[in-house]
């Protein structure tokens, strides 16, 4: 049965002129296993996203897509959610909930399946995928491979008839990747589920496929069985061939009439037949002219563990690196390879053994995104040199040289997150190179690359070694290491077990070796790469990519005009004077009251109360003097403004009646006895409308994600940065959230951050108070800054931050602690006493918030603006 | 650590127990009821957290108790038994000292209750209960909890990456340290939102936003849960009845009332004790049963 049918589909992204999909037509039948391949940026992902309406990107669409012979866009959302399963690239990002069992049930919950049925389906799925043992675990305890299996399982629990996968194995290491692919094959075989898979790991996936579709620059260039694809592509002489399985590449490099082999076994048979036809030449020696003598890094018997009582990770690691060589460390997962890199780059210190490096080491992390700060590639490159004492010209020269070396010149004005994975890796490398390291340490540098990217990357590395840079890479990519490394070492159980030149290394191993070697070992025992085989068999080896030595000398134009802020009118003089004096007063009070400067704790209460008052008043004056009307209010989509639902109206009325009722009951019924309880009740009643309005609005996935991300940022920040008791970014982040996303989001972010963080640290009677106080800060920030009462400037934000820390947070928490501590003797004096004792803490809190907002608010808000655009929240 | 099994009961049972115990601890100001609550809280805390609970009580709660007990007479001058006059001319009264001690005791009791609460009432249970009333908010909380460990890990990765790129940046003054922190957070901000787009896609793709969403949980209300639930409700009702009879009422000002040990009152104190000690009792019973099963083998 025909399940999908694409009829001359064309697609163009809004900001682009070139079509991303050009005249795509094909049919897919139930039960097929289709591999979609092509180089990065050929439109694979865009095509896959057209298989499900809800994931289809915005843009200019033309053509027709049929799903089970009805138009796809006519198929209702429920059917699509159930029938079409989609697994995305990153194992981490797709997981929505925090427990394995909940993740499995998530899709079924959305479909509205009842509890009993969910229980059964979840149980079934868990046992099919072997999840029983980690069913109750937190998802963050799982390995990358387990996470991807969980993603697959939670899609399969919905029993889809089609499974679409967009590079699901690119973030996994080879062993898990193979396991994952064989699971797919099992699903395809046993349930007749149609599978459409886009992947770089073609070598392993090809044997399972019943059909291969190859794309290049938005067009389908060939479509058919794996074998016939080989034939067609050979005629085409396409670059794509670089990423085809080893056997096919060998076959294509030889002029032969034999059948195209696909698997290693077939390749091996093919070579045997070929050997009967024509004698093989002896393997030519690799030109051993490269002579490495100077030692740049040496470590001997290095031992390392993370904590005193944890097991050793490095156990007597010994390694010598020579200047200008490329050394590759291979080995299984969890053997300590990444840890070794951390020790070698001096991020961690070994507790025993000798370690010497002559020259600077630089570590390129596995995920280069951890290095990107700015909004364009070029700004990010300059950022590295920001604090270096060198002239502007020299900086320009350096940046240009490195940018052209890493082939970034055409990408300079793109956003670092908008370029592809391979390009990001090159940008990371470029940033690292700007610190001019002598020894480069690379962690899985080719993860998720396609074949062409690998070649470019290898060429860059080659150029670097020619300039005397030493490279040490940790990798799972055996083919890459066999082709380009000077020496390879096998890492096992905390040290390097064996090391040799790639040819000796791989031909000596029987399991841990390249596909080319597995295929050819019975005839050519020393051949470890496709080129080795081709050289012996009289074929044409592929050339390497060369990087030109000439350097573009004209500096790339910095993009101007975009970042210049529209200048606002100057303030009138009286306002300036007022602002100046009020700032002076506030500063004076801050200094005189600051416990850091003034050690005399025992001041009389009156003075502190005066200080308190003066500080607040002076800041209010300042904020009034400097405030401007905001020029451009944020445009929200009209769909966000929905009419009030019945639930919301009901909630509001209920609350309006409830609060006075509670208070009255407290006073008359209980004679003011249960002060604490009444206060907490009122507090909860105050928070209820926010929650109920949020519920009533039926928030969309993206909105929920935004709030969760902001909350998690606050909590994670709170736990990672321990400087002082009150020196945490929570308040600042809540304010930023309110300003960027509006009052309601501000409230929810503030309150939820506190709730979640107290869940992890410690819950107590203070929780509801803190939630309310923080929520209020976010709410008021959103109200004041979005309705244009205050200007969204650095200063305005910081002043607001200080005020909210003192007036709102301190203003609520101080009487709250009075209530908690001595509930029956509440009087003005007690409350003032608590204010006074809490004042130093409030000051530190305010100070921290101000510093954070002064330094961080602008860049963060700028970043959030981009995010809002990406999430489709702004027009 | 001794045996703890109350957390295996249905979240509603856990919630009802803690909510009632905490509210009664805040509401009942009778010295005897405070003593009952404190003893039960401490016993349960020790069952949940072992020696750590005792240490916590001594280290943190004792000074707090003393502080509260001391502060109260300074601000509170009600009461008739005057012991001393301050320089300001205000009296120090016996009643205010006793009241200070009691309110300090109450605060400590609540803090000790929270030791076991934090152990028993895990985030899963919170999100489960919220899921019934406010599903969208519960999902937000759920996802926040999912993101937190991930973000922490990523923050540390970013810190390491930035250190290896810029080794000078970290060892300077306070301001440069804060600048470094902000830089890290700023990198984190972009990273987290960019990666969360895929999370939102994954949610949409799996049908989030369709009408008639159900909530699933691995909890089942067993018969033992129902039994305990009935018992809890009964005890609470009795206590509320007792409160109406002002069994637990106690005045500190102007004169401290006498503690009455009439049979009726004793009965209600016993009811309160039964409520507070319930999980401790259940744990001991289950522990016994377990041991007897094993000794019979």
Percent of chain A with pLDDT over 70: 87
> Higher model confidence: residue A509 or residue A543?
A509
pLDDT band at B17 (very low <50, low <70, confident <90, very high): very high
A145: three-class secondary structure by DSSP: helix
Is the pLDDT reported for residue A816 higher than 90? no
Mean pLDDT of A666-695: 77
Is the pLDDT reported for residue B76 higher than 80? no
What is the pLDDT, as a whole number, of residue B54? 82
Is the pLDDT reported for residue A720 higher than 80? no
Is the pLDDT reported for residue A852 higher than 70? yes
What is the pLDDT, as a whole number, of residue A276? 84
Q: Alpha-carbon dihedral of residues B253, B256, B262, B265, nearest 10 degrees? A: 50
Is the pLDDT reported for residue A309 higher than 60? yes
Token readout for B68 is 């509260």
Question: Could you tell me which chain B residue has the CA closest to the CA of A714?
Answer: B148
Token readout for B113 is 């209750």
Token readout for B217 is 């949980």
Q: Mention every residue, 6+ apart, whose C-beta is less than 8 A from residue A120.
A: none
Work out how many CB contacts closer than 8 A connect A with B: 327
Mutation target vs A (from B70, B164, B169; most A CBs, 10 A cutoff): B164
What is the pLDDT, as a whole number, of residue B207? 92
Report how far apart, in Å, the C-alpha atoms of A260 and of each of A55, A245, A249, A253, B256 are: 37, 11, 10, 11, 100
Residue A306 DSSP class: S
Q: How close are the terminal C-alpha atoms of chain B, in Å?
A: 25
CB proximity A737 to B under 8 Å: no
Residue A17 DSSP class: S
Interchain contact, B191 vs A370, CB within 8 Å = yes
Mutation target vs A (from B14, B161, B256; most A CBs, 10 A cutoff): B161
What is the pLDDT, as a whole number, of residue A583? 77
What is the pLDDT, as a whole number, of residue A630? 45
DSSP alpha helix (H) spans, A157-215? 174-191, 202-205
Partners of B195 on chain A (C-beta within 8 Å) are 90, 92-93
What is the pLDDT, as a whole number, of residue A553? 45
> Higher model confidence: residue A580 or residue A192?
A192
> Of B29, B192, B215, which has the smallest distance from its Cβ to A713's Cβ?
B192
Interchain contact, B199 vs A705, CB within 8 Å = yes
Nearest to A275, CA basis, from A518, A520, A540: A520
pLDDT band at A632 (very low <50, low <70, confident <90, very high): very low
pLDDT band at A798 (very low <50, low <70, confident <90, very high): confident
What is the pLDDT, as a whole number, of residue A9? 93
What is the pLDDT, as a whole number, of residue A442? 92
What is the number of other CB atoms lying within 10 angstroms of the CB of residue A50? 20
Partners of A707 on chain B (C-beta within 8 Å) are 140
In three-state form (DSSP H/G/I as H, E/B as E, the rest C), the secondary structure along A57-121 is CCCEEEEEEEECCEEHHHCCHHHHHHHEEEECCCCCCCCCCCEHHHHHHHHHHHHCCCHHHHHHH
For residue range A210-232, list pLDDT tens digits in order.
999 998 888 998 899 888 888 88
Interchain contact, B217 vs A115, CB within 8 Å = yes
Is the pLDDT reported for residue A10 higher than 90? yes
Question: Could you tell me which chain B residue has the CA closest to the CA of A89?
Answer: B198
Interchain contact, B198 vs A677, CB within 8 Å = no
In three-state form (DSSP H/G/I as H, E/B as E, the rest C), the secondary structure along chain B is CCCCCHHHCCHHHHHHHHHHHHHHHHHCCCHHHHHHHHHHHHHHHHHHHCHHHHHHHHHHHHHHHHHHHHHHHHHCCCCCCEEEECCCCCEEEHHHHHHHHHHHHHHHHHHHHHHHHHHHCCHHHHHHHHHHHCHHHHHHHHHHHHHHHHHHHHHHHHHHHHHHHCHHHHCCCHHHHHHHHHHHHHHHHHHHHHHHHHHHHHHHHCCCCCCCCCCCCCCCCCHHHHHHHHHHHHHHHHHHHHHHCCCCCCCCCCCCCCCCCCHHHHHHHHHHHHHHHHHHHHHHHHHHHHHHHHHHC
> For chain A, what's the residue count?
875
Contact, A130 vs A151, CB < 8 A?
no
Could you give the CA distance from residue A791 to residue A861 in angstroms, rounded to a whole number? 13
Mean pLDDT of A82-86: 94
A392: three-class secondary structure by DSSP: helix
Residue B9 has, within 13 A of its CA and on its CB side, a CA count of: 25
Highest mean pLDDT among A89-93, A632-636, B83-87, B253-257: A89-93
Contact, B15 vs B296, CB < 8 A?
no
* Whole-complex ipTM: 0.86
Token readout for A755 is 């709730």
Task: Answer whether the bond into residue B254 is a cis peptide, omega within 30°.
Answer: yes
Question: Could you tell me which chain B residue has the CA closest to the CA of A84?
Answer: B205
Place of tokens 């690691």: A317
Is the pLDDT reported for residue A711 higher than 90? yes
Nearest to A439, CA basis, from A474, A408, A464: A464
Could you give the CA distance from residue A616 to residue A586 in angstroms, rounded to a whole number? 8
Could you give the CA distance from residue A635 to residue B104 in angstroms, rounded to a whole number? 53
Contact, B214 vs A105, CB < 8 A?
no
Mean pLDDT of A26-46: 90
Is the pLDDT reported for residue B211 higher than 90? no
Partners of A859 on chain B (C-beta within 8 Å) are 186
For residue range B101-155, list pLDDT tens digits in order.
888 888 889 889 998 998 898 888 988 888 888 888 999 999 999 999 999 999 9
Token readout for A570 is 């100057």
pLDDT band at A823 (very low <50, low <70, confident <90, very high): low
Report how far apart, in Å, the C-alpha atoms of A352 and of each of A342, A554, A609 are: 15, 50, 58
Is the pLDDT reported for residue A466 higher than 70? yes
> Higher model confidence: residue A441 or residue B50?
A441
Percent of chain B with pLDDT over 70: 97
What is the pLDDT, as a whole number, of residue A119? 93
CB proximity A786 to B under 8 Å: no
What is the pLDDT, as a whole number, of residue A648? 62
Residue A664 has, within 13 A of its CA and on its CB side, a CA count of: 5
Interchain contact, A708 vs B144, CB within 8 Å = yes
CB proximity A432 to B under 8 Å: yes
What is the pLDDT, as a whole number, of residue A102? 93
Mean pLDDT of A140-148: 90
Is the pLDDT reported for residue A531 higher than 70? yes
Mean pLDDT, rounded, of chain A: 83
CB proximity A720 to B under 8 Å: yes
> Of A706, A759, A764, which has the smallest distance from its Cβ to B114's Cβ?
A764
> Higher model confidence: residue A727 or residue B238?
B238
Interchain contact, A827 vs B185, CB within 8 Å = no
What is the number of other CB atoms lying within 10 angstroms of the CB of residue B61? 21
Question: Could you tell me which chain A residue has the CA closest to the CA of B163?
Answer: A347
Please tell me the least confidently modeled range out of A316-330, B77-91, B242-256.
B77-91
What is the pLDDT, as a whole number, of residue A726? 57
What is the pLDDT, as a whole number, of residue B215? 86
What is the pLDDT, as a whole number, of residue B150? 92
Q: Mention every residue, 6+ apart, whose C-beta is less than 8 A from residue A396.
A: A555
Element (H, E) at A619: helix A605-626
DSSP A231-284: HHHHHHT-GGGGGS-HHHHHHHHS---SPPP-SHHHHHHHHHHHHHHSPPPPPP
Is the pLDDT reported for residue A851 higher than 60? yes
Burial A139-164 (b: 16+ CB within 10 A, else e): bbebeebbbbbbbbbbbbbbbbbbbb
What is the pLDDT, as a whole number, of residue A602? 44
CB proximity B230 to A under 8 Å: no
CB proximity B162 to A under 8 Å: yes
DSSP A439-482: EEEEESTTTT--HHHHHHHHHHHHHHHHTT-EEEEE-S-HHHHH
Is the pLDDT reported for residue A605 higher than 70? no
What is the pLDDT, as a whole number, of residue A148? 93
Please tell me the least confidently modeled range out of A142-151, A468-477, A735-744, A762-771.
A762-771
Residue A299 DSSP class: E
What is the pLDDT, as a whole number, of residue A631? 42
Nearest to A214, CA basis, from A249, A181, A252, A241: A241
Is the pLDDT reported for residue A793 higher than 90? no
Token readout for A770 is 């803190």
Is the pLDDT reported for residue A554 higher than 50? no
What is the pLDDT, as a whole number, of residue A600? 42
Residue B92 has, within 13 A of its CA and on its CB side, a CA count of: 14
Is the pLDDT reported for residue A634 higher than 90? no
> Higher model confidence: residue A508 or residue A666?
A508
């Amino acid at each position: 049965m025909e399940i999908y049918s694409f009829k001359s589909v064309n697609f163009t992204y809004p900001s682009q002129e070139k079509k991303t999909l050009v005249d795509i037509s094909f049919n897919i039948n139930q039960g097929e296993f289709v591999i979609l391949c092509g180089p990065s940026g050929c439109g694979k992902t865009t095509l896959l996203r057209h298989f499900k309406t809800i994931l289809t990107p915005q843009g200019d669409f033309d053509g027709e897509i049929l799903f089970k012979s009805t138009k796809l866009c006519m198929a209702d959302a429920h059917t699509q959610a159930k029938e079409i399963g989609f697994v995305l690239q990153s194992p981490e990002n797709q997981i929505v909930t925090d427990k394995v069992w909940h993740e499995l049930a998530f899709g079924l919950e959305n479909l509205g399946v009842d509890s009993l049925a969910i229980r059964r389906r979840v149980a079934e799925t868990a046992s099919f995928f072997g999840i029983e043992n980690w069913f109750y675990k937190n998802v963050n305890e799982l390995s990358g491979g387990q996470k991807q299996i969980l993603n697959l399982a939670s899609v399969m629990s919905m029993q889809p008839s089609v499974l679409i996968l967009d590079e699901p194995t690119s973030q996994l290491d080879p062993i898990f990747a193979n396991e994952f692919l064989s699971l797919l094959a099992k699903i395809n075989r046993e349930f007749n589920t149609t599978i459409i898979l886009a992947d770089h790991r073609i070598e392993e996936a090809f044997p399972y496929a019943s059909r291969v579709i190859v794309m290049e620059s938005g067009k389908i260039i060939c479509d058919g069985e794996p074998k016939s694809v080989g034939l067609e592509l050979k005629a085409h002489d396409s670059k794509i061939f670089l990423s085809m399985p080893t056997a096919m590449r060998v076959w294509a490099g030889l002029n032969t009439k034999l059948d195209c082999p696909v698997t290693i076994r077939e390749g091996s048979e093919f070579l045997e037949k070929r050997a009967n036809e024509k004698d093989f030449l002896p393997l030519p020696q690799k030109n051993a002219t490269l002579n490495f003598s100077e030692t740049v890094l040496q470590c001997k018997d290095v031992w390392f563990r993370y904590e005193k009582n944890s097991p050793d990770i490095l156990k007597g690691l010994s390694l010598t690196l020579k200047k200008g060589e490329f050394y590759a460390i291979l080995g299984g997962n969890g053997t300590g390879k990444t840890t070794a890199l951390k020790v070698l780059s001096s991020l961690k210190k070994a507790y025993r053994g000798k370690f010497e490096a002559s020259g600077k080491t630089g570590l390129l992390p596995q995920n280069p995104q951890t290095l990107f700060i700015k909004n364009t590639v070029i700004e990010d490159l300059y950022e590295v040199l920001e604090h270096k004492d060198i002239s502007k010209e020299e900086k320009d020269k350096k940046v240009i040289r490195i940018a052209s070396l890493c082939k970034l010149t055409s990408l300079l004005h793109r956003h670092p997150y908008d370029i592809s994975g391979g390009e990001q890796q090159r940008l990371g490398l470029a940033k690292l190179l700007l610190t001019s390291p002598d020894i480069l340490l690379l962690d899985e540098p080719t993860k998720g690359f396609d074949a062409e990217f690998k070649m470019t990357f290898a060429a860059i590395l080659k150029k670097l070694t020619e300039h005397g840079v030493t490279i040490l890479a940790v990798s799972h990519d055996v083919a890459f290491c066999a082709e380009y490394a000077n020496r390879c070492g096998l890492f096992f159980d905390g040290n390097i077990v064996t090391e040799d030149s790639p040819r000796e290394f791989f031909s000596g191993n029987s399991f841990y070796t390249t596909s080319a070697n597995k295929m050819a070992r019975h005839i050519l025992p020393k051949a470890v790469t496709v080129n080795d085989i081709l050289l012996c068999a009289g074929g044409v080896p592929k050339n390497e990519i060369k990087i030109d030595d000439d350097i573009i000398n004209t500096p790339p134009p910095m993009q101007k005009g975009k970042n210049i802020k529209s200048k606002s009118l100057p303030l009138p003089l009286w306002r300036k004077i007022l602002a100046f004096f009020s700032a002076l007063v506030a500063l004076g009070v801050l200094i005189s009251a600051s416990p850091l400067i003034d050690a005399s704790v025992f001041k009389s209460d009156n003075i502190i109360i005066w200080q308190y008052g003066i500080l607040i008043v002076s800041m209010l004056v300042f904020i009034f003097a400097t405030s401007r009307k905001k020029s451009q209010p944020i445009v929200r989509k009209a769909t966000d403004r929905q009419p009030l639902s019945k639930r919301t109206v009901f909630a509001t009325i209920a609350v309006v009646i409830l609060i006075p009722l509670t208070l009255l009951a407290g006073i008359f019924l209980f004679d003011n006895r249960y002060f604490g309880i009444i206060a907490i009740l009122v507090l909860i009643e105050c928070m209820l409308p926010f929650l109920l309005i949020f519920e009533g609005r039926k928030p969309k996935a993206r909105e929920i994600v935004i709030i969760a991300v902001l909350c998690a940022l606050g909590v994670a920040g709170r736990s990672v940065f321990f400087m002082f008791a009150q020196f945490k970014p929570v308040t600042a982040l809540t304010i930023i959230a309110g300003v960027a996303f509006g009052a309601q989001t501000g409230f929810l972010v503030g309150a939820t951050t506190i709730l979640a963080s107290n869940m992890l640290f410690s819950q107590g009677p203070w929780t509801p108070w803190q939630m309310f106080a923080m929520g209020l800060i976010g709410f008021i920030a959103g109200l004041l800054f979005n309705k244009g009462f205050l200007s969204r400037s650095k200063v305005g934000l910081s002043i607001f931050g200080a005020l909210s820390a003192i007036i709102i947070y301190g203003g609520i928490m101080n009487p709250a602690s009075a209530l908690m501590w001595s509930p029956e003797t509440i009087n003005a004096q007690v409350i003032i006493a608590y204010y006074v004792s809490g004042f130093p803490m409030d000051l530190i809190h305010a100070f921290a918030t101000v510093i954070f907002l002064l330094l961080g608010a602008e860049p963060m808000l700028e970043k959030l603006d981009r995010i809002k655009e990406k999430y489709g929240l702004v027009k | 650590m001794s045996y703890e099994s109350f957390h295996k009961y249905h979240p509603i049972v856990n919630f009802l127990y803690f909510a009632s115990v905490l509210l009664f601890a805040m509401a009942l100001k009778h010295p005897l009821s405070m003593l009952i609550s404190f003893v039960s809280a401490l016993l349960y805390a020790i069952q949940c957290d072992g020696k750590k609970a005792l240490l916590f009580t001594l280290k943190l709660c004792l000074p707090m108790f003393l502080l509260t007990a001391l502060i109260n007479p300074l601000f509170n001058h009600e009461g008739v038994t005057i012991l001393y006059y301050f320089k300001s001319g205000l009296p120090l009264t016996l009643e205010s000292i006793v009241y200070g001690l009691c309110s300090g005791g109450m605060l400590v009791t609540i803090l000790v209750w929270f030791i076991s609460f934090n152990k028993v009432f895990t985030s899963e249970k919170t999100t489960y209960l919220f899921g019934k009333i406010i599903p969208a908010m519960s999902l937000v909380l759920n996802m926040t909890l999912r993101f937190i460990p991930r973000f922490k890990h990523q923050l540390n990765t970013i810190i390491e990456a930035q250190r290896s790129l810029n080794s000078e940046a970290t060892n300077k003054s306070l301001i440069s340290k804060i600048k470094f922190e902000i830089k890290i957070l700023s990198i984190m901000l972009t990273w987290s939102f960019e990666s969360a787009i895929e999370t939102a896609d994954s949610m949409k793709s799996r049908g989030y936003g369709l009408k008639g969403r159900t909530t699933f949980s691995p909890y089942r209300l067993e018969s033992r849960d129902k039994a305990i639930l009935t018992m809890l409700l009964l005890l609470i009702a009795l206590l509320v009845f007792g409160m109406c009879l002002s069994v637990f009422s106690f005045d500190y000002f102007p004169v401290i009332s006498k503690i009455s040990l009439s049979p009726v009152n004793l009965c209600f104190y016993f009811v309160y004790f039964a409520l507070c000690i319930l999980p401790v009792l259940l744990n001991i019973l289950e522990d016994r049963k377990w041991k007897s099963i094993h000794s019979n083998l």
